[in-house]
Amino acid sequence: MIILACDHAGYTLKEQIKEFFNKENITTIDVGTYSTDSVDYPDYAKAGNQKVLENSNNVGIYICGSGIGMCIAANKNPKIRAALCQSEAFASLARKHNDANVVVLPGRFISKQKAIKIIKVFLTTAFEGGRHARRVKKLKEV
Protein backbone atom coordinates (compact mmCIF):
# COMPACT_ATOMS: atom_id res chain seq x y z
CA MET A 1 0.00 0.00 0.00
CA ILE A 2 1.14 3.55 -0.68
CA ILE A 3 0.91 5.90 2.28
CA LEU A 4 0.70 9.65 1.62
CA ALA A 5 1.60 12.23 4.26
CA CYS A 6 2.25 15.95 4.03
CA ASP A 7 2.21 19.24 5.83
CA HIS A 8 0.51 22.39 4.54
CA ALA A 9 3.39 23.20 2.16
CA GLY A 10 3.12 19.73 0.60
CA TYR A 11 -0.66 19.63 0.38
CA THR A 12 -1.05 20.79 -3.23
CA LEU A 13 1.55 18.36 -4.58
CA LYS A 14 0.07 15.53 -2.50
CA GLU A 15 -3.34 16.16 -4.03
CA GLN A 16 -1.83 16.12 -7.53
CA ILE A 17 -0.09 12.84 -6.78
CA LYS A 18 -3.33 11.37 -5.42
CA GLU A 19 -5.06 12.38 -8.64
CA PHE A 20 -2.38 10.54 -10.64
CA PHE A 21 -2.79 7.38 -8.54
CA ASN A 22 -6.58 7.56 -8.84
CA LYS A 23 -6.31 7.72 -12.65
CA GLU A 24 -4.02 4.67 -12.52
CA ASN A 25 -6.49 2.85 -10.20
CA ILE A 26 -3.85 2.61 -7.50
CA THR A 27 -5.16 2.75 -3.96
CA THR A 28 -3.46 5.00 -1.44
CA ILE A 29 -3.96 5.83 2.21
CA ASP A 30 -3.84 9.56 2.93
CA VAL A 31 -2.96 10.41 6.54
CA GLY A 32 -3.13 14.16 5.92
CA THR A 33 -2.95 17.01 6.15
CA TYR A 34 -6.10 17.87 4.26
CA SER A 35 -5.68 21.60 3.58
CA THR A 36 -3.14 24.38 3.29
CA ASP A 37 -3.80 25.48 6.89
CA SER A 38 -0.55 25.57 8.86
CA VAL A 39 0.30 22.31 10.67
CA ASP A 40 3.36 20.68 12.23
CA TYR A 41 5.12 18.23 9.89
CA PRO A 42 6.31 15.85 12.66
CA ASP A 43 2.69 14.92 13.38
CA TYR A 44 2.17 13.79 9.79
CA ALA A 45 5.51 12.00 9.51
CA LYS A 46 4.55 10.05 12.63
CA ALA A 47 1.10 9.19 11.23
CA GLY A 48 2.70 8.12 7.95
CA ASN A 49 5.31 6.00 9.73
CA GLN A 50 2.63 4.18 11.72
CA LYS A 51 0.87 3.18 8.49
CA VAL A 52 4.06 2.31 6.60
CA LEU A 53 5.09 -0.04 9.39
CA GLU A 54 1.77 -1.91 9.43
CA ASN A 55 2.95 -4.05 6.50
CA SER A 56 6.44 -4.64 5.12
CA ASN A 57 5.12 -4.06 1.59
CA ASN A 58 3.93 -0.55 2.44
CA VAL A 59 5.86 2.48 1.22
CA GLY A 60 5.46 6.12 2.06
CA ILE A 61 5.42 9.30 0.04
CA TYR A 62 5.89 12.27 2.35
CA ILE A 63 5.91 15.90 1.27
CA CYS A 64 6.72 19.20 2.93
CA GLY A 65 8.06 22.48 1.61
CA SER A 66 11.74 21.55 1.41
CA GLY A 67 11.40 17.86 2.23
CA ILE A 68 14.00 18.27 4.94
CA GLY A 69 11.66 18.45 7.93
CA MET A 70 9.61 15.43 6.93
CA CYS A 71 12.78 13.46 6.21
CA ILE A 72 14.30 14.24 9.60
CA ALA A 73 11.04 13.49 11.41
CA ALA A 74 10.40 10.24 9.54
CA ASN A 75 13.91 8.95 10.20
CA LYS A 76 13.45 9.32 13.98
CA ASN A 77 11.85 5.87 13.78
CA PRO A 78 14.66 3.30 13.35
CA LYS A 79 12.49 1.10 11.11
CA ILE A 80 11.95 3.91 8.61
CA ARG A 81 14.50 4.67 5.92
CA ALA A 82 13.29 7.93 4.40
CA ALA A 83 15.17 9.53 1.52
CA LEU A 84 14.75 13.08 0.27
CA CYS A 85 14.71 12.77 -3.52
CA GLN A 86 14.78 15.56 -6.08
CA SER A 87 15.67 13.35 -9.04
CA GLU A 88 14.98 9.92 -10.44
CA ALA A 89 18.65 9.00 -9.86
CA PHE A 90 18.32 9.72 -6.13
CA ALA A 91 15.09 7.67 -5.99
CA SER A 92 16.80 4.75 -7.71
CA LEU A 93 19.79 4.84 -5.37
CA ALA A 94 17.57 5.22 -2.30
CA ARG A 95 15.89 1.93 -3.18
CA LYS A 96 18.88 0.03 -4.62
CA HIS A 97 21.43 0.93 -1.96
CA ASN A 98 19.44 1.98 1.10
CA ASP A 99 16.24 -0.08 0.85
CA ALA A 100 14.32 3.14 1.52
CA ASN A 101 10.68 2.60 2.45
CA VAL A 102 9.75 6.29 2.29
CA VAL A 103 10.44 8.81 -0.44
CA VAL A 104 10.29 12.43 0.68
CA LEU A 105 9.57 15.15 -1.86
CA PRO A 106 10.21 18.91 -1.63
CA GLY A 107 6.79 20.31 -2.48
CA ARG A 108 8.00 23.85 -3.11
CA PHE A 109 10.83 22.83 -5.42
CA ILE A 110 9.55 20.22 -7.87
CA SER A 111 6.69 20.03 -10.34
CA LYS A 112 3.94 17.43 -10.41
CA GLN A 113 5.54 15.89 -13.50
CA LYS A 114 8.94 15.59 -11.81
CA ALA A 115 7.36 14.17 -8.66
CA ILE A 116 5.53 11.49 -10.66
CA LYS A 117 8.77 10.49 -12.41
CA ILE A 118 10.57 10.21 -9.07
CA ILE A 119 7.72 8.17 -7.57
CA LYS A 120 7.59 5.78 -10.53
CA VAL A 121 11.31 5.06 -10.18
CA PHE A 122 11.02 4.67 -6.42
CA LEU A 123 8.12 2.22 -6.70
CA THR A 124 9.69 0.10 -9.44
CA THR A 125 13.28 -0.17 -8.21
CA ALA A 126 14.30 -3.14 -6.08
CA PHE A 127 16.84 -3.29 -3.27
CA GLU A 128 20.10 -4.82 -4.51
CA GLY A 129 21.03 -6.46 -1.22
CA GLY A 130 24.57 -7.81 -1.06
CA ARG A 131 27.03 -5.35 0.43
CA HIS A 132 24.17 -2.85 0.77
CA ALA A 133 22.25 -5.21 3.05
CA ARG A 134 25.21 -5.27 5.43
CA ARG A 135 25.21 -1.48 5.52
CA VAL A 136 21.47 -1.14 5.98
CA LYS A 137 21.66 -3.64 8.86
CA LYS A 138 24.27 -1.41 10.53
CA LEU A 139 21.82 1.50 10.56
CA LYS A 140 20.15 -0.15 13.55
CA GLU A 141 23.43 0.24 15.45
CA VAL A 142 23.91 3.98 14.87
Residue 65 belongs to what domain range? Answer: 2-141
Strand 28-30 and strand 59-64: the pairing is unpaired
pTM (2 d.p.): 0.96
Give the CATH number for residue 14.
3.40.1400.10
Mean of all residue pLDDT scores within the chain: 97
132: which residues sit within 8 A by CB, 6+ positions away?
Answer: 96, 97, 98, 99
Query: Which residues in the chain land under pLDDT 70?
Result: none
Q: What dihedral angle (degrees, nearest 10) is formed by the CA atoms of 14, 12, 66, 39? A: -90
pLDDT at position 108 is 97
Q: Find the catalytic residue in 46, 97, 114, 132.
A: 97
Distance CA 65, CA 93 (A): 22
Number of domains in the chain: 1
pLDDT at position 79 is 95
**97 carries an active-site annotation:** yes
